[in-house]
Structure 1
Amino acid sequence: MPEMDEETENEDGSLMDDDYYAFLNVPRDAPQDEITNAYRRLSKTFHPDKHQDPLRKKEAEIIFNKIRQAYEVLKDPHQRAIYDSVGMKGLETEGWEIIQRTKTPVEIREEYERLARQREERRLQQRTNPKGSVTVNVNAVDLFNPYMDDYDDEFDSGWPIIEVSGVSINQSIQAPLTTRDTATIAGFVNTHNGTGSGVISLANKRQISEKGWVEVHGGVGSGPLLGLKALRTLGKRVFIQGDSYVQYANSGLRAGLDGTLAMQVGKSTMGYLTWQTGSSSSMSTSIARDTERTHVNFTFLLGVPHSYVSLNFTWKVAKADLKLKSTVKAGTFGAEVSYGAEKKISEQSTVSATVCIGVPTGVTLRLRLTRATQNYLIPIQLCDEVLPSPVFYATVTPLLAYAIVKKLIIDPMKNEEIATKRQRQKETYRNRMAEKRKEAQAAINLMSNTFSRIRAEEEARRGLVIVSAEYGKLDAANTSGGPSGDPSGDRSPDVELIDVTVPLQCLVKDSKLIVHDSTKSQLAGFYDPCVGEDKHLKVQYLFHSQLHQITIADNEALRIPRQSHRINQT
């Protein structure tokens, strides 16, 4: 599928991107003078004029061009802001010349996304954007509150009756006609207790400008319908949206008008004022506050035939890809309390379960599966009254079911997906492995003079001498982080390691070595020998003629010498 191929290409492309900060061995918040010093230090080793041999000079020219490119980007505040916001792809995007240098990182990212959208419009004009939802209403009231009647005794089987009381299906497909026009075909089918209805509609949406769009739509099913929608941005913080329609039905001509005025009232807060007329009339106001950890929405609606007030609170647990939701709603129809959770189980899929307890609606369990742009909803009516047993089972059953499904289905699928992704990365990287290995070896060859000089200076002062350094996938016996690790260097034959003693010694300055918290594979003389795998850096060094040892994770900072690294020799 083209989408999957594109996603793979993007992932592997980002995998191959050079990390300028790691390459220069400076932190991401490094001031300009630190970046300049790093550039000058590397230039002393890799500048072509430092080498007389034609082959070495050519190798030095390739590496020095990478050093200069990294320096040119990071020394320019404007290019550095783009690089920090969206990476290498931002520097390669056409149209950056229109961006003002005073833009903030957030504004830069927004501008990049706008330019990316323009580029995608040219590439993806013929693609559709299918969206759909399937809702299956289940009546399981007989589980907790069975229907009792004398004349049904002869038909009583002893088993509770669970039935599907209704099904609705909604599907739409978009087709870009031009860079400004998008056509949408949608269909809706609904059946409830044996009675069904359906609607098919066609719409065309035109982007008038960056500030607004207009959509004309029509449909047939419950009677011919013609409508008009529009959105207009009135300022940086305000927009207005309207929707009007006229429909000829069996009961006569019907018309409706909806309007929404939205305003950003704070950094993370939006306010909405909505007016609706037609089959029902209402006016509502709502305040929504969305932060990194929480989402709060308060709504007050005054209308005919019902009015209500509701408060919704969502707590986002980012590390677990989990959202905990709760809602309190009360009005002329009664009152309802709901609580539930939404869990992201893959890049494109989420599952959720919500328990709704209300008067007079009773107890309902709502299960939802979202896969990309497709939604599958199953509302299960458990009881027409509020009883403890349906509330308990509606809460506990989804948790137990998810634990079982996660263990038997989700976890194996995730593990297979991770393994497949790693294998795909390896296959892609394998094509460049020889090139990266050759480049790293060339860098080590060019470091020979610098290595000999620094090592001789450190040995003379009994300073920091790198005895051995290995980088890659270490076995269990070699991943211990302190002196307890095996200093002999023995390892299993399947370990993927490279010797980086020379590059690390060349980074020593005044008997100190600092490597910042980014992947070590980007350092000069390094490459990634086991892409997609967890990597470590194991270093044995002498300081004041005492043997030391340390093993760190790939993205962990390294600062030596340290007294805690010393190996007690007997």
Structure 2
Amino acid sequence: MDFDSDDESALLQDDYYAFLNISKEATKEEINNAYRRLSRIYHPDKHLDPEKKQKAEILFNKTKKAYEVLSDPHQRAIYDNLGVKGLETEGWEIVQRTKTPAEIRAEYEQLAEERAERRKQQRTNPHGSITVNINATDLFNPYINEYGVQDEYEIEENSVLPNIEVSGMSFNQSVEFPLTQKDTATLSGQLQTHNGTGGGVISLSCRHIFSHRSWGEMEIGAGNGPSVSLKAFRTLSKRFFWNGGTVLQFTPQGIRPGFISTLAMQIDKHSVGYFTYNTGYKSSVSTSVIRDTETGLYNFSVQVGLPHSYISFSYTRKMLNHELRLRVAFKVGTFGGVIEYGAEKKVSKHSLLAAAVAVGVPAGVKLKIKLTRANQVYSFPIHLCEEVMPAPVFYGTIVPLIVYAVIKKSLVEPFLKEQEAKRAETEKQNNRTKLLEKRKEAQAAVELMSATYARIVRDEDAKKGLVIEKALYGKALRSNNRDSGDFAEEILDVTIPLQCLVKDSKLELHNHTKVRLHFFQIKCVL
């Protein structure tokens, strides 16, 4: 019999009910009886031969583990709902002993999340972003001098290829340093340049979590003059929460203060409203409503202030089956207006690729490409045209789709298939090793049952009870090719283990897959 990866993995999971040969509805007394029966067979003190004693110790420890789990109502409930992985999760010892499956699963998910968070805290958790602004307006808007014609120098320079330049760049990077369970320090830096001029900022912040309802943060920075800021978050009630902060920027012209405060309200299960007041170098009052559902994300905002006031709306369609998001947005204000449309696609487990076209006045046409890889973001805003023209809109929409399709077919898909093949082969090798270990364990179990088998046969024969003359399990071997790498099932002689299950002239086999029984393990051929 050939097994796929899922079949092999299923065989490798310990089934405590099958190990003790009891039903999933077994009572405490039935569990105790099963444990005592197997203990008489596998207890190391029952065997004098050193090799048998070693094998017995392994099987006795498994028997004891199965008994400990199934005899404890709390552990049994966890095992019934989540399997061995639930028992291996840290923190169950401090959790209130609940009874319902829903409560157990909720606790497991919470503990798993906390464990993942602890692992995350052990690392510096770096975040970063790189933005490269590209000026490609010469593709559609060649430079025209004051006389209405192209300059001779420009004609010579652009006669073969258009002039495409990097007009600006910015780099952001941050690393976190967990100090205690409630304190985290963050070191971050930013460098940016635009048309040959630029600057940088470096800052150090420390956040303290007061409770699950509030935290506070202090940050000091240097770059465009030293600065000090304070931030805080507070849950006010079940539906309201607040966050805000103040900053003091020290410049040659004096101290420049700033303050921002946001009050949020949970409108319903999927909607949140925000009201923000900002004063300082830029002063404004804004309100927004965000609605996030399984199929769509809506965002409506209104801002009044300096330097600009505007109204904006965006809608994102979530296509979960295709791991794709389609987005359309518009923004109108004192600066002009812009319409943007684009898509975001998950290209691998940790990578997202997004592209959008923004058409506006007076900005013109821009193509925005963004790649997110884990905690790193790479953005490439490309300015295609300073005016709204059909050609840059068309090419900005079509060219990225064609490039994506070509790269996906020629590079991404072959790479992912190769990675998946390597992962499957590694898992297959691991499963093969574990299956062979299971086979040895089954052989050891049958060997250790010999004395018990002889005793039961004598007792049953004396009282004219049930004596199993011959019992076979399995199918004929399909292939003897040891180089194929496939597993095949052999016919097993299970007379001894079946006879050992006989009690009071009755044979009880519960509703388990027979290959789950530790003495029925399938023999594997490489």
Distance 2:525 2:474 in 1: 23
* Contact 2:473–2:493 (8 Å) recurs in 1: no
* Contact 1:327–1:339 (8 Å) recurs in 2: yes
More relative contact order in 1 or in 2 (CA 8 Å, sep 6+)?
2
The TM-score normalised by the length of structure 2 is 0.74
Residue number in structure 1 paired with 2:111: 112
| Secondary structure, counterpart of 2:24 in structure 1 | helix
Q: What letter is aligned with 1:191?
A: T
Matches within 5 A, 1:65-464: 65=64, 67-68=66-67, 71-72=70-71, 76=73, 80=77, 84=81, 88=85, 91-94=88-91, 96-99=93-96, 101=98, 104=103, 107-109=106-108, 111-113=110-112, 115-116=114-115, 119-120=118-119, 125=122, 127-149=123-145, 150=149, 152-157=151-156, 158=159, 159-425=161-427, 432-441=434-443
Shift of 1:244: 0.8
Determine which of 24, 32, 44 is the counterpart of 1:35. Answer: 24
Larger-gyration structure (1/2): 2
Per-residue CA shift, 1:529-569, capped at 9, x if unaligned?
799xxxxxxxxxxxxxxxxxxxxxxxxxxxxxxxxxxxxxx
Shift of 1:378: 0.3
| Secondary structure, counterpart of 2:417 in structure 1 | helix
The RMSD of aligned alpha carbons is 4.6
Shift of 1:156: 0.8
| Secondary structure, counterpart of 1:406 in structure 2 | helix
Q: Name the CA shift for 1:80/1:391 in 2 (closer, same or farther; >3 Å).
A: farther
| Secondary structure, counterpart of 2:25 in structure 1 | helix
| Secondary structure, counterpart of 2:291 in structure 1 | strand
The TM-score normalised by the length of structure 1 is 0.69
Query: Is 1:18 matched with 2:13?
Result: yes
Q: Name the CA shift for 1:514/1:173 in 2 (closer, same or farther; >3 Å).
A: same
Q: Name the CA shift for 1:15/1:108 in 2 (closer, same or farther; >3 Å).
A: same
Which of 84-93 and 433-442 deviates more? 84-93
Which of 439-448 and 64-73 deviates more? 439-448
Residue number in structure 1 paired with 2:487: 497
* Contact 1:256–1:278 (8 Å) recurs in 2: yes
Shift of 1:405: 1.7
Per-residue CA shift, 1:372-419, capped at 9, x if unaligned?
211110000111222222122111111211122222322233233324
Q: Name the CA shift for 1:45/1:177 in 2 (closer, same or farther; >3 Å).
A: closer
Per-residue CA shift, 1:120-155, capped at 9, x if unaligned?
48xx55x42221111111111111232233361343
| Secondary structure, counterpart of 1:208 in structure 2 | strand
| Secondary structure, counterpart of 2:340 in structure 1 | strand
| Secondary structure, counterpart of 2:398 in structure 1 | helix
Q: Name the CA shift for 1:161/1:257 in 2 (closer, same or farther; >3 Å).
A: same
Shift of 1:253: 2.4
Q: Name the CA shift for 1:301/1:504 in 2 (closer, same or farther; >3 Å).
A: farther
Per-residue CA shift, 1:163-221, capped at 9, x if unaligned?
11111111122222333322222211111111212112121222223322211111122
* Contact 2:314–2:328 (8 Å) recurs in 1: yes
| Secondary structure, counterpart of 1:116 in structure 2 | helix
Shift of 1:469: 7.8
Distance 2:419 2:41 in 1: 48
* Contact 1:241–1:261 (8 Å) recurs in 2: yes
Distance 1:146 1:358 in 2: 19
Distance 1:530 1:139 in 2: 64
Distance 1:301 1:22 in 2: 63
Q: What letter is aligned with 1:48?
A: L
Per-residue CA shift, 1:324-344, capped at 9, x if unaligned?
222233333333222222222
Which of 341-350 and 61-70 deviates more? 61-70
Residue number in structure 2 paired with 1:482: none
Shift of 1:522: 5.7
Per-residue CA shift, 1:21-70, capped at 9, x if unaligned?
99699xxxxxxx97216997998899427969967995875665465466
Shift of 1:77: 6.6
| Secondary structure, counterpart of 1:499 in structure 2 | coil
Residue number in structure 1 paired with 2:475: 468
Q: Structure 2: any 5+ residue segments left out of the alignment?
A: 1-8, 457-465, 499-508
Q: Structure 1: any 5+ residue segments left out of the alignment?
A: 1-13, 26-32, 459-464, 471-488, 507-511, 532-570
* Contact 2:176–2:187 (8 Å) recurs in 1: yes
Distance 1:354 1:244 in 2: 34
Shift of 1:83: 7.1
